[in-house]
Amino acid sequence: MTPADALKMVRDGGRLSRDMAEAVYVHAATEDLEATAKAVRARHATPGVATYLVDRNVNYTNVCITDCTFCEFYRRPGDKEAYVLPKDAMRTKLSELRAAGGTRVLLQGGHNPDLRIAWYEELLRFLTDEFPDIRPDAFSPPEIEHLARLEGLSTRDVLVRLRDAGLKGLPGGGGEMLDDEIRRRVSPKKTMSAEWLRIMGEAHELGLSTTVTMVFGFGEEVRHRCNAFAAIRDRQDLSIARFGRGFVGFASWPLQHESRYGELWGLKKGVKLGAEPDEYLRHAAFARVWLDNVPHMQASWPTMGVDVAARALLASCDDMGGTMMEENVVSQAGSVHASASETALRDAIIGAGFTPRKRDTEYALI
Ligand code: SF4
């Protein structure tokens, strides 16, 4: 079967198989790939509409012991720039979010060995009591695994305790490339693929809302990207079959360019890191075609800029993601797009020919 035949099969309601994935990823004509992505998009999202979320990122601590090689954000315990956000700072940030009409706070931080599970529970109770109108989505699978190790609990028990304290959803952070060959190279101390996906399965079982993310451009091969895509689709199939729910959305973005990474990872000279807009757009279109069981796809304006993100809406994506208000992890790795106003996201959506609609975390229109 040629890539063109495989894409036609998808447009006719079929599904790409793993043995066709790499050929389609590399050799399909871009127009064909994007037309197929558009057809799959139409099965999940309202035609002519693109959504966005008013939210805020809060990085509650930058202390981390996991030492991911690509991370410019974290500080080791005891570093003079290490911080844990005090409650008053959280209150100010959440009040600003409320004033901006926000509905979701995304809490993510480093793996801080001094913060025990009681600290997280208290934080969630404080946010739920003082800001019942703002939903906390927080602590990606690596943070859950870190807490489980620290407390000697299972990851499921950690999730149950956090859910009972007010946690509503688990963002897809720390997914990066879900292929252990790559994870061992770039973040060897971080949660490996099977664990990351297993924790997300537990979150699905417990009724938490989740998203899945992919960072690409670590100098990996196409087979690694396709392995990651396959693992995500399998997890989604399983969760939907067992629990009737899975990831609500997918987002991908390229690694932000840092030449030192190539040396660090022992890559040959000249291996390209990150990705240019055209590669990103093809990757996003392939994601839509492959992940036929994930309803929503976010365009990544924080790494690609609002204009490229708007182009992604034309084929693959149906959502511009959140306003974020602040972003400290991607921006410290070199991205210049640390936040966007609601007006900027709406204008970009209108510019791409769609009607902008504000949504909540579960993609319900507000
Ligand atoms: S990416 Fe996350 S887990 Fe890795 S070093 Fe940075 S803060 Fe720690």
pLDDT in tens, 93-124: 999 999 988 999 999 999 999 999 999 999 99
Backbone angles phi, psi at 88, to 5 degrees: -60, -40
Under 8 Å between Cβ of 365 and 357 = yes
The pLDDT of residue 268: 81
CA of residue 1 to ligand 1 center, whole Å? 42
The pLDDT of residue 267: 83
- Model confidence band, residue 326 (pLDDT cutoffs 50, 70, 90): low
Percent of the chain scoring above 70 in pLDDT: 95
Q: Which domains does the chain have, with CATH numbers?
A: 41-358 (3.20.20.70)
Backbone angles phi, psi at 70, to 5 degrees: -95, 0
Give the contacts of 89 (CB within 8 A, at least 6 positions apart). Answer: none
CA of residue 189 to ligand 1 center, whole Å? 10
Instruction: Give the ligand 1 atom nearest the CA of 64.
Output: 8
Residue with tokens 């396709």: 226
Q: How far apart are CA 311 and CA 111, in angstroms?
A: 36
Q: Is the CB of 74 under 6 A from ligand 1?
A: yes
Q: Is the CB of 139 under 6 A from ligand 1?
A: no
Q: Is the CB of 68 under 6 A from ligand 1?
A: yes
CA of residue 278 to ligand 1 center, whole Å? 28
- The residues pairing with 359 across neighbouring beta strands, listed in sequence order, are 365
What letter represents residue 222's amino acid? V
Q: Is the pLDDT of residue 128 over 60?
A: yes
Q: How far apart are CA 152 and CA 243, in angstroms?
A: 27
CA of residue 316 to ligand 1 center, whole Å? 29
Q: How many CB atoms lie within 10 A of CB 310?
A: 24
Under 8 Å between Cβ of 332 and 324 = no
Residue located nearest, by CA, to atom 4 of ligand 1? 68
Give the contacts of 248 (CB within 8 A, at least 6 positions apart). Answer: 209, 210, 211, 294, 295, 296, 361, 362, 363
- Model confidence band, residue 193 (pLDDT cutoffs 50, 70, 90): very high
**Of the residues 61, 65, 68, 108, which should be mutated to test ligand 1's pocket, given the most ligand atoms within 8 Å of the CB?**
68
What angle, 0 to 180 degrees and rounded to 10, lies between the N-to-C axes of helices 30-44 and 3-11? 20
User: Quick one: CA dihedral 46, 136, 280, 193, positive or negative?
Assistant: negative
Q: Is the pLDDT of residue 330 over 60?
A: no
* Average of per-residue pLDDT across 141-167: 98
- The residues pairing with 105 across neighbouring beta strands, listed in sequence order, are 56, 136
- Model confidence band, residue 259 (pLDDT cutoffs 50, 70, 90): low
The pLDDT of residue 155: 98
Closest CA to 212 of 176, 243, 183, 187: 176
Q: What is the pLDDT of the chain when averaged over all its residues?
A: 93
* Average of per-residue pLDDT across 210-228: 96
* Average of per-residue pLDDT across 234-242: 98
Instruction: Give the ligand 1 atom nearest the CA of 187.
Output: 4
CA of residue 71 to ligand 1 center, whole Å? 6
Q: Is the CB of 190 under 6 A from ligand 1?
A: yes
CA of residue 349 to ligand 1 center, whole Å? 32
Q: Locate 18 and state its tokens.
A: 């793993």
CA of residue 324 to ligand 1 center, whole Å? 19
Q: Is the pLDDT of residue 217 over 90?
A: yes
DSSP one-letter string for 124-174 = HHHHHHH-TTSEEEE--HHHHHHHHHHHT--HHHHHHHHHHHT--EE--TT
Q: β-strands 296-298, 55-59: how paired?
A: unpaired
DSSP one-letter string for 189-205 = TS--HHHHHHHHHHHHH
CA of residue 127 to ligand 1 center, whole Å? 24
Q: Is the CB of 142 under 6 A from ligand 1?
A: yes
Percent of the chain scoring above 90 in pLDDT: 82
Q: Is the CB of 275 under 6 A from ligand 1?
A: no
Q: Which residue has the higher pLDDT, 345 or 243?
A: 243
**Of the residues 69, 74, 145, which should be mutated to test ligand 1's pocket, given the most ligand atoms within 8 Å of the CB?**
74
Q: Which residue has the higher pLDDT, 348 or 179?
A: 179
Q: Taking the C-alpha atoms of 199, 201, 205 and 207 in order, what is their torsion angle to the nearest 10 degrees?
A: 80
Closest CA to 110 of 135, 82, 70, 150: 82
CA of residue 18 to ligand 1 center, whole Å? 31
Q: Is the CB of 140 under 6 A from ligand 1?
A: no
Q: Which residue has the higher pLDDT, 132 or 270?
A: 132
Q: Is the pLDDT of residue 339 over 90?
A: no
* Average of per-residue pLDDT across 198-218: 97
Closest CA to 147 of 207, 210, 60, 57: 60
Q: What is the H or E stretch that residue 242 is in?
A: helix 222-243
The pLDDT of residue 328: 56
pLDDT in tens, 273-300: 999 999 999 999 999 999 999 999 999 9
- Model confidence band, residue 64 (pLDDT cutoffs 50, 70, 90): very high
The pLDDT of residue 143: 98
